[in-house]
Structure 1
Amino acid sequence: VGKNMVFSMRHWSTSTGVLDLIGNQRNKNNFRISDLGHFLFGKMGCDPYLENPNTLWLLHWLLASKPKRTLFYWLFNLYNQPSFNKDKLINDINNLIANHEEWKQVSVNTIGRDIDCLINTYTSKTLKKKLSHEDTIECPFAELGLITAQKQGEYLLKRDSRNSLGDGIFLYALVEFWKNYYSSAQTMTFEKVLHAEGSPGKIFCLDESDLDNRILRLEDISKGDLEWSQSAGMGQIIAKKEINLLDSFDCIKRAYR
């Protein structure tokens, strides 16, 4: 493995929480495999060869739910159009940077390369005869179907039913969203879970029907910790105990049982 590939592996491993940074110095001795990394990919890991779709959904969530991963976070949380192309994203990102004077200015070429990386992460490649074997390898995230290539460089970011998304990973995402944005609230509305920034509905691109089915099963999924209640025409999720007391990692484990 070459030097650039090592840096790339380290970047994606830390971005998804598979590696933890120890302290503030990013040298070769300041990283360790996280509890999540051991759970998924260790010697006794649940999915050492990345064969379970739940792992892909989990890693996608961990990547797209962190605001510091600006482009991934922005596309899956703040971008509200169903379709896009590279030039439009470059223009929108430039406008975003211009509105934040405290941000470091980035060249158009750098933004373009980052957008190419994002698109290649989530879309299947069109096979061409002259592509090398290495160039035909696609990211496993393409299996999730979150971004679909259309004609002439257009892409579709479509809400849909996510049949391969396990209830345990959905529950984990819901609990983390609740903790991060509404930790003092005992209730959560359907609309927030579907449309709010940082929500499972946004990051997993869930359609209303899929989310509705999951919410109706929530009491069973959460073993009674959360339940759906509808009275006087108002539907909401109720936390039966303080949300911060729920074990997020246990939700992940449920997806592999």
Structure 2
Amino acid sequence: MWLKRVCDQADQDGRIAKSVFTDEEAIVRFGVGKNMVSSMKHWALATGMILDENSSKYYRLSSLAKKIFAVDGLDPFSENIATTWLLHWQLAGTSKLETSFKTRSTTWVLLFNTFITADFSNKDLLNNIYKFIANNARKKISENSLQRDIDVCLRSYISLPKNNNSDDISEPVLAELALIRPTTSGKLGFQRGTRSTLPDGIFDYCLIIFWQSLSKDLNALSLYDICHAKGSLGLVFKMDEDAIAERLIGIGERTGDLLIWASTSGIHQVMKKQGLGGDEFTKLAVSRLESSYNE
């Protein structure tokens, strides 16, 4: 619901004045405290629902936000778990890992795309991410700031002890996806599975977005890349090759054979229909997204 509150601030041209988050009416406008208003803006930017295009006065509502959170949108009040999976993808899914420190969801990207140990502690995650950022970011980030970001990230998937820096707005959003769990060693670990609550439409949408991020000119995408490449569905959704392949077997039927699953001579891949590309490929992604809310 909090994302809709942000999206509702857009004018008819899809612009959101930056002042709505900072002026004297912000607390009344959003119905929350000052810190939570700032947090709502952060999450809307991090999930790509609003875009900062270097304007001094405005943010812009993304096409995805309009599709989901408009008055007549697919799920304006975030009642469908399809939206929860989509928000997780928006936070953690990217193939451009080398520039991920520029995003507002660096911790999500690095946690799901680079952390492959069976279990991990908060400190393990801190060290891993701090090292990556130290080697890639141009400006130094304090350990305390990074620790707060890690706490917020982990709390969005699993209940952890609260502290004064807790960002409660994130807590209930992603826990139902069951992606992270406590382990018997007292640490945390990824919980892999077939993702029965992940709609085929969201799976297909994310597959196409991932495909486009690699190259719009690729006519085929290997099962290996779909499972193991940075920003892939296998890493972001924590699905193994069997679970991914099971989904892909039916992709031809779901897309009217615009995409087909081919498994011959030990080569497993998804192939595009000849000539499918550009705007038509994007339209297919949107169509599959929309179908998720009818499954």
TM-score (structure 1 length as normaliser): 0.88
Answer whether contact 1:175 1:243 (CA < 8 A) is retained: no
2:256 corresponds to which of 223, 231, 236:
223
Is residue 2:146 matched to residue 1:111? yes
Q: Which amino acid is the alignment partner of residue 288 of structure 2? A: C
Q: Which consecutive aligned stretches of 4+ in structure 1 deviate over 4 angstroms post-superposition? A: 134-137
- Percent identity reads 34
Specify whether residues 74 and 135 from structure 1 end up closer, same or farther in structure 2 by C-alpha distance, changes over 3 A only.
closer
| Structure 1: runs of 5+ lacking an equivalent | 129-133
State the match for 1:71 in structure 2. Answer: 107
Query: Offset of 1:186 from its aligned partner?
Result: 0.7
Trace 1:34-113 onto structure 2 (pairs within 5 A). Answer: 34-66=62-94, 67=100, 68=103, 69-100=105-136, 102-113=137-148
Secondary structure of 1:75's partner? helix
Q: Deviations over 1:56-87 (max 9, x none)?
A: 00111011124323211111112221211111
Query: Offset of 1:114 from its aligned partner?
Result: 0.9
Answer whether contact 1:120 1:138 (CA < 8 A) is retained: yes
Structure 1 Cα separation of the partners of residues 151 and 200 of structure 2: 31
Structure 2 Cα separation of the partners of residues 64 and 46 of structure 1: 22
State the match for 1:148 in structure 2. Answer: 181
Structure 2 Cα separation of the partners of residues 57 and 136 of structure 1: 17
Answer whether contact 1:177 1:198 (CA < 8 A) is retained: yes
Q: Deviations over 1:182-233 (max 9, x none)?
A: 3221111111101111111111111222211101011012221110112222
Q: Which amino acid is the alignment partner of residue 19 of structure 1? A: I
1:242 corresponds to which of 273, 276, 279:
276
Specify whether residues 12 and 135 from structure 1 end up closer, same or farther in structure 2 by C-alpha distance, changes over 3 A only.
closer
Query: Offset of 1:174 from its aligned partner?
Result: 0.4
State the match for 1:25 in structure 2. Answer: 55
Q: Which amino acid is the alignment partner of residue 107 of structure 1? A: S
Secondary structure of 1:156's partner? strand
Q: Deviations over 1:72-131 (max 9, x none)?
A: 11111122212111111111122213323x5311121111111101110111357x9xxx
Q: Which amino acid is the alignment partner of residue 5 of structure 1? A: M
Specify whether residues 225 and 50 from structure 1 end up closer, same or farther in structure 2 by C-alpha distance, changes over 3 A only.
same
Secondary structure of 1:111's partner? helix
Q: Deviations over 1:137-165 (max 9, x none)?
A: 93220000111123575111132110000
Secondary structure of 1:215's partner? helix
What do you get for the CA RMSD once the two structures are aligned? 2.4
| Structure 2: runs of 5+ lacking an equivalent | 1-31, 95-99
Specify whether residues 80 and 135 from structure 1 end up closer, same or farther in structure 2 by C-alpha distance, changes over 3 A only.
closer
Answer whether contact 1:178 1:243 (CA < 8 A) is retained: no
Structure 2 Cα separation of the partners of residues 135 and 230 of structure 1: 46
Q: Return 237-246 or 206-215, whichever deviates more.
A: 237-246
Secondary structure of 1:117's partner? helix
State the match for 1:121 in structure 2. Answer: 156
Secondary structure of 1:255's partner? helix
Give the aligned length.
248
Specify whether residues 136 and 154 from structure 1 end up closer, same or farther in structure 2 by C-alpha distance, changes over 3 A only.
farther
Query: Offset of 1:26 from its aligned partner?
Result: 5.4
Q: Which amino acid is the alignment partner of residue 181 of structure 1? A: L
TM-score (structure 2 length as normaliser): 0.77
Specify whether residues 242 and 82 from structure 1 end up closer, same or farther in structure 2 by C-alpha distance, changes over 3 A only.
farther
